[in-house]
Every structure is written in C-alpha cells, then in structure tokens.
Amino acid sequence: MGLGNIWRFPYLAAKDGGGLFLVIYLILALTFGFTLLMSEVVIGRKTKQSALTAYGVINSKFKWLGGIATVVPFLILPYYCVIGGWGLKYFIVFITGHGTDAAADGFFGGFITGEVEPVVMLAVFLAATMFVVIRGVNSGIEKMSKVLMPVLLVLVIGIAAFALTIRSGDRTGLQGLKILVIPTLEGKSLNDVFTVVLDAMGQLFYSISVAMGIMITYGSYLKDDDNIVKGVNRIELFDTLVAFLAGVMVIPTVFVFMGTEGMAASGPGLMFEALPKTFSSMGIAGNIVGTLFFAMVLFAALTSSVSILEAVVSSIMDKFTISRTKAVVIETVAAMVLGIIVCFGYNLLYFEFKLPNGSTAQVLDIMDYVSNNILMPVLAIGTCILIGWAAKPETIISEATKNGEKFGRKTLYIVMVKFVAPILLLLLLLKSLGIMDLIIKAR
C-alpha cells in the first residue's frame, strides 16, 4: 500500500469518469498486472540479484534492462519524497488545528512556491526514509510494514466509510459511490476509452510497483520454499482493495462538494487542494478527519519511498560491493539534490515545457513523464520480450512451481507475456510520445 494507491489512483479515476476506469483497472490488474508482477518477483528469487544485475543473469543480452530498472527508481525517489514532504506539511497543519487554513484558496500554491519550507519538509521526510532503509529489510522495512500496513488499512476503511455519509445540497456520498462503481460510455469516444485504458495501465505500474526494480529486489530476498504464486495473488487482492477504498475516500467527497465538473478537472493536486475544503466543511470533525487522512498519506508515502530507495540501494550494493549504510547515504544525497531542484521548479527554476503527450510540465512533471511514460513502458516491453521469447515463459513457471505449487492462470500468463502485454505496452509508449495522437489525427 503506497502513494500510488492513495494519491494517484483517485485523481485518475476521477478524471476518467470513475466506473469505466475502475472496471478497466480491475481487468488489467488480473491480466496485465499479474503477468508483470509474477515475472519480476520470480526473476528476483531465481537470480537472487538486484534489478541492476538480475536481467543479465537470465540472459546476458538483456543486461541493459538492469540499467533502466535502476534509473527509474533513481528518478522517482526525489519527487516522491517531495510529495511526501507535502503530506508532512498538511499533517502538521491539521494536527495543530489549522485545517481551515489549508482549505483557503491559494494555500497549496503558496506552500509549494515557497523557497524554504518545501525543502525543509523534503529533508525531514527523506531522513525518515533513510533511517528505515539503513536498518535493512528485517530490522527496518519489515518491522515498519508490520506496524504501518494495519494502521493504513484501518484509516482507509474508516475514512472511506465516512465519505459515504456526507451530503451537500442535493448531492450525497452514496451518489458519488455510484459514479465510482457504475461504468458508463456516455459521452465517451473511442479515443477517450483508449485513453482510460492507458491511464489504468500507467497506474498499475505505480500500484503494484512493477517496471521500477522494486519487485525484483524484494523477490531476491524470498526464500526458495516461499510460495510465490500465493504471494502474488495476495498482492493483487490487497492492492486492488486499497485502490478501490482510496477511490471511495476521495471521489464521493469530491463529487459532493465539487460536482462532476470538479471530478473532470482533477489532477495531481486534487488531494491537497480539494480534500482540505471537504474537511473544512465538516466543522469541528474536519480537523480530526483531516489529521487521520494526512497521517495515512504520510505513511503511504513513506512505504513507497522506502521501497524505491531500497531498490536503488540494492543495486548499488551489488554493483560496487559497498556497505548498506554507504549505499544509502550516497543515494540519499543524490535524491536530496534532485529533490531540491524539484522544489525550486515551482519558484526559482519555474518554467513551462510542452510534453509530447500534449501536457504542460514543470520539473516534477518532466521527471514523472520520463520515468512513468517512457522508461517504465520500455522496461516492461523488454521484460516481456526476455521472458516471452528469449528465456521462454517456462523459466518463470518452473521457478514459481518448483515446490509443487499450482500456477493458476498459466495459459493466460503465457499469452499475456508473449503477445498481449507487449502490444499494450507499445501502444502506451506511442501514446506517451504523442505518436498515437498523430496517427489518429491523420486518419
């Protein structure tokens, strides 16, 4: 359960109309997501290597994939920690009883355009991430997860249940829930549906942490007698549940207070701009709910940043045979420098850049675009070619079932990894590069 579920899933679901996005996401999670997740976890356990070197162990001609799998988390960590700093800021605001300040127009913009406070919040959040990873998988990451995951789940369920009870005028939380769970094609063109499919695919990268080296890293820590099939099935179920509950938390409240127009205009700042207004409308209870919500955001961001940092640290340790502490310090310093650049991207280094996909970007958006829209699809395509055609799917299946486990969806896995997944990923890459839009316009 990470920031991708809590921050990214709700605003994409809101932007893409709720129900249609949810249904497509569920279908892709059980097919496309299952294929990539199973492949990466098994590659990790089979090779006992970090993402940087694991691909080369499977097939030496594909070791270049390890470089991409290391660059992706290296790029993601700085801006994830910046967003984690935003979550820390809002948690402090609400826990000190100033939630109404966060609901004021311009509060979020005023904060992120500041030259000092965002950097301070980044530093505190990154230091917490560094502390956990230095302690290692068992002493740091595993202990943190055992405490934070149940807390996160309770918070998600509680706030989601509360969201269904709110009302403003004629709009209710239950009406917002219907928008989330009931798909509709009304007003949607074929290109719109295609965009929703690609958004759902992109979200899966973040939700289940594939195509960024994380799952290969954690797979390398698994014991040979661990049941990978059962573990992957649990990740699928738990991730999908949390993503759905995050949608229940956010979409009904946005619908109640902002209507369908507010949903259609949703973007990355939805959580920090719209929800404080929602909490403010709750009266005295708003500070309490807001505190719980942003505590959950903070915890979710920490679990994500810890996983991302661990992926990079593992690769550094394998490549240069240095201690965990040295590897963590090196990557933390690099992340801090890049994170400061991201923070200054909203003030001292502000500029607007038109991306190939048509959106206007600043520093954070460019880093997200390069990692999520270009490098991750390329890495995932390479993984499908490696497993589907070079090493063959049996490489994954035999490793996952070597203790007598049953490999469910075996035929689906083979078809997906050889044919369907690489084609979908290629379309996603073409869409991200703006090539797909040119093709559509030319017709």
For 262-298, the pLDDT digits (tens) are 777 666 677 888 778 878 877 888 898 889 889 888 8
Phi-psi region of 184 (alpha: psi -120 to 50; beta: other; left: phi over 0): beta
pLDDT of residue 253: 82
Give the residue carrying structure tokens 């605003």. Answer: 11
Element (DSSP H or E) covering residue 360 = strand 360-361
| Identity of residue 46 | K
| Range 261-267 contact pairs with CB under 8 angstroms and sequence separation of 24 or more | 263/14, 263/15, 263/17, 263/18, 263/179, 264/14, 264/15, 264/17, 266/10, 266/11, 266/12, 266/14, 266/15, 267/11, 267/15
Terminal C-alpha separation, the chain: 42
How is residue 178 written in tokens? 């219907």
pLDDT of residue 4: 81
| Identity of residue 364 | L
For 84-93, the pLDDT digits (tens) are 999 999 999 9
Angle at 197 between CA 191 and CA 203, to 5 degrees: 135
Give me the domains of the chain, ranges plus CATH numbers.
Answer: 3-442 (1.10.4160)
Low-confidence spans in the chain with pLDDT less than 70: 1, 137-142, 265-268
